[in-house]
Amino acid sequence: MTALTLELKNAHACFGGAQRFYEHASREIGLPMKFSVYLPPKALMGEKVPALLYLAGLTCTEETFMIKAGAQRLAAELGMALIAPDTSPRGANVAGESDAWDFGVGAGFYLDATREPWAKHWRMESYLMSELLPLVCDKLPIDATRIGIFGHSMGGHGALTLALRHPGVFKSVSAFAPISNPVNCPWGQKAFTGYLGDDTAAWAAHDASALMGTQKQAPYPAGILIDQGMADKFLMEKQLLPEAFETACANVGQPLTLRHQPGYDHGYYFIQTFIEDHLKHHAEQLK
């Protein structure tokens, strides 16, 4: 494989479209990377379609969302592609890499690490923005001017921060139970120390609440949607801190719909329940 070659690993007919799984050699990561794409029927007929980039959470892969979220039926109806990359580099042979529950040693966290031994391969922000998105828009029938982003947990953090760090790339954004204020939670502090060192200014550049606080006007005037389960143990443990992002949005006039969902936890049953609302939220803004 070359950096610009996609190897199709598997493909499945799905609601009149195609569920595909790809691998390619990544120049940004320096390792093979995997991702999945759902193409709706319109795309298979040659029409360029809008797409949603989904960023998964800790311990997940490029397969998790496509298997567990139940999003393809509605994506087919809406004529929308779904893109789900792997969450992290694999096979770098870095000590501690496989311990993905230990933020800072293995989990991608959707940023570019500057601290060794992670700096060489842990470049998820550059991979997504400079490599994967241009690649899929070039090789597949996807409209690069109509891309939305959403994610879950660590991926919700990634969705919010990348949407704010790369203005104009994404037309819509939403999240499920995002890590909203990582500079102030144990997960984020451990990840940032591991990847970025002790420079807290560097941490703030990857914190959705801090980034929103620097905006001069609402970056997404059509609104951001967040769902948060109220039986989520990580909410109770103060790892997610959605209230910090809510305050930041209010301070800059950013419309935010933050829905507190009683009885729902942090898992994919929660995501399945509300995935339709998220796809429709994006479809309206990607017209």
What is the b/e burial string over 177-209, where b = at least 16 CB atoms within 10 angstroms of the residue's CB?
bbbbbbbbbebbbbbbbbbbeeeeeebbbbbbb
d(CA 279, CA 88): 24
- Give, as one character, the DSSP assignment of residue 112: B
CB 159 within 8 A of CB 149: yes
Residue the block writes with tokens 């982003």: 149
For the beta carbon of residue 221, count every other beta carbon within 10 angstroms.
10
Amino acid letter for position 159: A
d(CA 195, CA 113): 5
177: CB partners within 8 A, 6+ apart:
152, 153, 156, 227, 228, 229, 232, 234, 235, 240, 266, 270
Through-space distance between the first and last CA atoms of the chain, rounded to whole angstroms: 35
Sequence-distant (6+) residues with CB within 8 A of 264 are 229, 230, 231, 232, 270, 273
Which residue of the set 86, 112, 207, 232 is catalytic?
Answer: 232
Q: 86 an active-site residue?
A: no
Out of 24, 157, 206, 266, which one is annotated catalytic?
A: 266
Q: Residue 117, preceding bond cis, omega within 30 degrees? A: yes
In 10 A of CB 7, how many CB atoms? 12
Q: Is 232 a catalytic residue?
A: yes
The yes-or-no answer on residue 153 being catalytic is yes
CA 24 to chain centre: 19
Instruction: From the candidates 153, 174, 180, 209, give the one annotated as an active-site residue.
Output: 153
Catalytically annotated residues: 153, 232, 266
